Amino acid sequence: MGIGDSTNSNFNKIYDPTYYSRLTLKNSDSKRLSISYRSGLMILEIGKSIGSGDSFKVETEETIYLSPMKAHILTNQINSFIEYKKAGDIDPKKAFGVNAGMGEKVTYIAFSADTDGSNVITIGKFDGKGVIVESASFRMSIDFNYALNWDDLSANNLVKVFDNDAEIIMLRNAIADFSRSMSGAYGYSAFDINRYEQNKTNKRIDQIFDALGIERQSYGGNKSFSQNNFLNNTSSKSTSYEEIEDLLA
């Protein structure tokens, strides 16, 4: 049986790993908001750091799983929350968010602001009667992330300019990027740009297989051109970028 033959019993078995984002938000309360991805979902998790060194661990408090559609809607909600804050007159009870999943308990994520202007993320669950039965909150840092402005660069006369919305903007961008990229467009473009390098790798692997006498599944394609099109007197069943460029040349 050749490698890549679809009759192989393991051919359709796919291991779905978890991928962890480099973006993790932390605060002075030892809380953290982490991002990971699995099974086509974006996972936001609030946890608490416990211990240090070899005994360090993160204890999960609440988790929400976002589909690409929910991520898109949540992006818009975060934008609305940011605009609400800019208007002033903040009410700590007011929040913007989404729910995810349906069951005996419904998971939700909400963005609100405290009276000091700090951004607060809450993940929790409410029951079928609409009563919140569990929740955990993560308070984003305030007066922590900053840029530098110089009045006199040569004398290094500078001041810190705090950006208290840096964390929520980065989180919003990550959620928006997930909703957009799950269309497959980003992934395809990356593979397309890498096609020549991938072809080099495939040729090397083919040479190794040939040297070892290993059978493998092969795939081929046919290109077809014909002359009959009202735009340029040609028509083609081929749809590669290069072939279309040839037709338009």
10-35: per-residue pLDDT in tens? 556 778 899 999 999 999 999 999 99
pTM, rounded to two decimals: 0.79
DSSP output for 122-180: EEEEEETTS-EEEEEEEEPPSS-SEEEEEEETTTTEEEEEE-TTHHHHHHHHHHHHHHH
Could you give the CA distance from residue 82 to residue 146 in angstroms, rounded to a whole number?
19
Locate the domains of the chain by residue range: 19-183, 220-249
CA torsion through residues 184, 190, 191, 192, sign: positive
143-160: per-residue pLDDT in tens? 999 999 999 999 999 999
CATH number for region 19-183:
2.30.31
- To which residue do tokens 């605009």 refer? 83
Could you give the CA distance from residue 28 to residue 123 in angstroms, rounded to a whole number?
19
